[in-house]
């Protein structure tokens, strides 16, 4: 097992572009890679470009008729078939859509293959984490579900237990749906409450299909306004115990940065410092509970494309590369110049929001009248007994 980490990157992923008025601006990807380079992290990880996923790989999750529809919309965006979720407000069709989407999927699949083969202990694809795409349709800015494809490829290779932890502000519905009946995959999603936010799923009662899949999905639906202390308390009250019990052979995590208080599309109030803490916690869980520390870390949502996303995912790369960045470090001026050149905005000056994060352990007790604790209790009571754990 190599102790090195992989960073999946191909400049062509920035062609995943829904247009200038769409919130998922590919500049967030370019700026993240620029910040990775500004900190010299490409010297601490192996930067690798993988080929696009072919149809046989895409079919591990997606229907062929849907793949054909994406390819047709890619060739002629004006003829996109909205019955497949294409050409909609959320997922406008664009020239080259199939190629760009398959390229992102290929990076995540290759990351999973490399980690399972022992070529690296960790692999990061911050361009991935497109967790809303369904087998037969695009949804929520996502065309191909690279996270589900990476997991499906691991299962194809013989992996028997994969844990998927999703801390995006939106429920990881597409990944949950892909493995709803499969006890080999444990999906855990922490997200803003579905009553408040797209996609309207991720209720605690969603615990997997009756039968062998029961208990394979865990959903922690957080109240709007949850900040650092509550978010970290919720994560640590649910995720480590499940991972310790499941003992996955590979850990796949999705690190959407849209939990941040500056994100324009959601209502949590999490800081960059708390996001970094959860990234580090996922890294620690891989080392503690996964043989060979096999960890695949993905990006996801995040629409504060200058101030938040590049800093959050650069921290993720540093953690995976065992070269964590000092949050108090001054961001290199070369990157801030790049920000201004690309966006005409001023970039942030440091790798921190200035928060000192802490949380109260669940083991210290809970308040049944507290809304955050109610959310944690709901998740634990719904899923933990199905896994033989005390709620």
Tell me how far apart the alpha carbons of residues 325 and 314 are, in angstroms, rounded to a whole number.
Answer: 8
Catalytic residue among 122, 132, 283, 315: 132
Average pLDDT over residues 296-311: 98
Does residue 1 have a pLDDT over 70?
no
What are the CA-CA distances from residue 270 to residues 75, 123, 177, 291, 307 (Å)?
A: 40, 25, 27, 31, 14
Contact 175, 148 (CB under 8 A): yes
pLDDT value at position 3?
Answer: 75
3-class DSSP string for 171-207: CCHHHHHHCCCCCCEEEEEEEECCCCCCCCCCCCCCC
Q: What is the pLDDT of residues 147-182, one digit of tens each?
A: 999 999 999 999 999 999 999 999 999 999 999 999
- What string of DSSP letters covers 251-284? EEEE--STTBTT-TT---BB-HHHHHHHHHHHHH
- Note the maximum CA span of the chain: 58
Residues near 88 by Cβ (< 8 Å), separated by ≥ 6? 82, 138
4: pLDDT confidence band, cut at 50, 70 and 90?
confident
What are the CA-CA distances from residue 95 to residues 61, 72, 92, 194, 306 (Å)?
A: 23, 10, 10, 33, 25
Average pLDDT over residues 81-94: 98
Average pLDDT over residues 307-336: 98
Does residue 322 have a pLDDT over 80?
yes
Tell me how far apart the alpha carbons of residues 151 and 161 are, in angstroms, rounded to a whole number.
Answer: 10
Q: Which residues are 162's β-sheet partners?
A: 185, 250
pLDDT value at position 215?
Answer: 97
Does residue 257 have a pLDDT over 70?
yes
pLDDT value at position 75?
Answer: 98
Does residue 308 have a pLDDT over 70?
yes
> Which among 57, 31, 70, 97 is positioned nearest to 314, based on CA atoms?
31
pLDDT value at position 2?
Answer: 62
Tell me how far apart the alpha carbons of residues 172 and 90 are, in angstroms, rounded to a whole number.
Answer: 16
Does residue 332 have a pLDDT over 90?
yes
Vertex 302: Cα angle to 298 and 308 (nearest 5): 100
What are the residue ranges of helices labelled H in the chain? 27-38, 55-58, 64-75, 97-117, 146-156, 173-178, 228-246, 272-289, 309-320, 333-343, 371-383
> 3-state class of 106 per DSSP?
helix
> Which among 364, 377, 29 is positioned nearest to 204, based on CA atoms?
377
Look over the chain and give the mean of its residue pLDDT values, rounded to a whole number.
97
pLDDT above 70 as % of the chain: 99
Known catalytic residue: 132? yes
Average pLDDT over residues 335-360: 97
């Amino acid at each position: 097992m190599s102790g090195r980490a992989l960073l999946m990157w191909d400049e062509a992923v920035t062609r995943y572009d829904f247009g200038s008025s769409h919130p998922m601006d590919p500049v967030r990807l370019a700026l993240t890679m620029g910040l990775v380079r500004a900190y010299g992290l490409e010297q601490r990880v192996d930067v690798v470009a993988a080929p696009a996923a072919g149809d046989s790989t895409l079919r591990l999750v997606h229907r062929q008729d849907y793949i054909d529809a994406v390819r047709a919309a890619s060739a002629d965006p004006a003829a996109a078939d909205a019955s497949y979720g294409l050409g909609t407000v959320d997922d406008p069709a664009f020239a080259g859509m199939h190629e760009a989407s398959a390229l992102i999927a290929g990076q995540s699949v290759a990351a999973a293959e490399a980690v399972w083969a022992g070529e690296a202990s960790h692999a990061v694809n911050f361009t991935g984490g497109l967790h809303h795409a369904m087998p037969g349709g695009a949804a929520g800015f996502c065309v191909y579900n690279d996270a589900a494809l990476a997991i499906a490829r691991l299962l194809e290779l013989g992996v028997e237990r994969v844990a998927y932890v999703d801390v995006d502000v939106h429920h990881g519905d597409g990944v949950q749906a892909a493995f709803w009946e499969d006890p080999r995959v444990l999906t855990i999603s922490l997200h803003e409450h579905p009553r408040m936010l797209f996609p309207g799923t991720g209720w605690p009662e969603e615990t997997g299909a009756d039968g062998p899949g029961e208990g394979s999905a865990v959903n922690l639906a957080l109240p709007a306004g949850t900040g650092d202390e509550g978010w970290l308390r919720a994560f640590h009250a649910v995720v480590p115990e499940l991972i310790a019990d499941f003992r996955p052979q590979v850990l796949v995590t999705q690190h959407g940065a849209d939990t941040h208080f500056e994100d324009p599309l959601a209502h949590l109030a999490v800081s960059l410092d708390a996001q970094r803490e959860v990234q580090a916690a996922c890294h620690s869980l891989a080392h503690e509970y996964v043989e060979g520390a096999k960890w695949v870390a993905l990006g996801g949502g995040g629409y504060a494309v200058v101030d938040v996303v590049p800093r959050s995912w650069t921290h993720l790369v540093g953690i995976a590369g065992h070269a964590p960045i000092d949050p108090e470090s001054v961001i290199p001026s070369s990157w801030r110049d790049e920000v201004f050149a690309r966006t005409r905005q001023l970039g942030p000056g440091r790798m921190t929001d200035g928060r000192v994060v802490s949380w109260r352990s669940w083991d210290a007790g809970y308040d049944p009248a507290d809304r955050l604790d109610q959310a944690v209790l709901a998740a634990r009571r719904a899923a933990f007994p199905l896994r033989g754990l005390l709620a």
